[in-house]
A and B are shown apart, each in its own frame.
Chain A
Amino acid sequence: MIQTDICIIGAGPVGLFAVFECGLLKLKCHLIDALPQVGGQLTEIYPLKPIYDIPGYPSVLAGDLITNLMKQIEPFGPTFSLGERVESLEKREDGSFVVTSSEGTKIESKVVVIAGGLGSFEPRKPVLPRLEEFERKGVEYMVRNPELFRDKKVVIAGGGDSALDWTVYLAEVASELSIVHRRGDFRGAPDTGAKVEALAAQGKVRLVMNAQLSGLHGTQKLTGVEVTYDDKSTTTLEADYLIPLFGLSPKLGPIAEWGLNIDKRAVEVDTRDYSTNIPGVYAIGDINTYPGKLKLILCGFHESALMAHSAYKYINPGENVVLKYTTVTGIEGM
């Protein structure tokens, strides 16, 4: 069991800055995020795009902003559970919380802060009959352990970088490997596309181009993947595994079931301190909503500061917090 003062769900820019604001008040933070790296959509979707509305930066690349935030919070020693989605929230009789992740990690905290953007990033699923029946019985949306596919017949679907990268990797692992792509060529990373084509020329990969997934075969366990070509003809590829790699998309996920007041995929908060209807649970950044809400990183930063002061008072009832300027007090460890 991980024990901390504040459990922050979401390690995007707002979740990271919340560590700073809580740290100034000597509150320790643990962050949990479904993505394997910090930064949320800034690192997942647009790391190389410039942002122009961060005060003090005429222009900053999204990825650089995250690097700077990590440096800014380093003195406060935050800890992380990355690549884990939050599943449940339990409030104990003594008022403390236990957050449990998809991997079974338990985080005990006095306050929970939801800074989850638009939710946790989950794999996009193809629209296919019987898909759910075969999930974890042949259909895998991520390659967690490549050894699972050793000497197996594998079909990868998708034409993005991730599909191409795993095709190159698994060509040496699987007994048979096919890649199904709706176009006649690969337009992602040219180097990787060329590698896949070279592997196909050596007979290590079968290219199934101008085709889309159309069906799954098997009983209990996947045995075949049906594809339909642009000319409407179909074929069935023998398969132990299908790996659809169509990227990631955020979903609110289990948070929606926690008893929070939700309005259109966002958590309703009180703008005095960004608290939710559950005492001790706060929501900051893009995941919250209130009259006049603007989904801007700079608004999330402001919300972090007010949340931290309120969380301090929640944890230490009756104690008065004196606002201290960092210019006066400095930051220990910097």
Chain B
Amino acid sequence: MINIHVIDTDGTARDISFEANKSSSLMEILTKERFDVAAICGGMAGCGTCHIAFESGGEGLDDIEDDEEFMLDSLPNIVTGSRLSCQLRLTKDLDGARIRILGDGV
């Protein structure tokens, strides 16, 4: 099992657990757990609404691909550790991470 600590947009926080699964994304888990993630484009790195930041952990995750990089570049609220959760596979590299949901800044 992978355990992470998630801080929602309203500041409330809780721990969630899930199985590693390379065909599923962190955005899908956050949506399923009913966090405030709109995920409008459905996972195409096209809208920025699943934007999160790693406050700790997440080392060893896949590098940022061009599509994700372009979208992050266009967001007004990116910080160190910013990623699009739709581009993150459910791998053990997430275990123990502390993430904050930021959305697209609107």
Binding site for B on A (CB under 8 A): 41, 45-46, 49, 117-118, 122, 124-127, 158-160, 182-183, 187-188, 244, 246-247, 249-251, 265, 295
Contact = CB atoms under 8 A, between A and B. Distances in A.
B76 A244 contact: yes
Given A159-B74, A188-B70, A46 B106 contact: no
A249 B74 contact: no
Given A124-B106, A246-B105, A249-B47, A160 B78 contact: no
Interface stretch (B10-18, B19-27, B37-45, B85-93): B37-45
Contact of A249 (B42, B49, B73): B49
Nearest to B71: A247
A182 B49 contact: no
B70 A160 contact: yes
A300 to B, nearest CB: 14
Contacts of B49: 249
Q: Is chain B's binding surface mostly helix, strand, loop or mixed? A: loop
B69 interface: yes
Interface string B60-85: 00000010011001111110000000
A265 B105 contact: no
Given A41-B41, A45-B47, A49-B44, A125 B106 contact: yes
Contacts of A182: 73, 78
29 contacts: A41-B47, A45-B44, A49-B44, A124-B74, A124-B104, A124-B105, A124-B106, A125-B76, A125-B106, A126-B77, A127-B76, A127-B77, A158-B74, A159-B73, A160-B70, A160-B73, A187-B69, A187-B73, A188-B73, A246-B75, A246-B105, A247-B48, A247-B74, A247-B75, A249-B47, A249-B105, A251-B106, A265-B38, A295-B42
Given A125-B76, A126-B76, A160-B70, 4 more contacts: A124-B105, A158-B74, A246-B76, A251-B106
B28 to A, nearest CB: 13
A182 to B, nearest CB: 7
A127 B76 CA distance: 7
B46 interface: yes
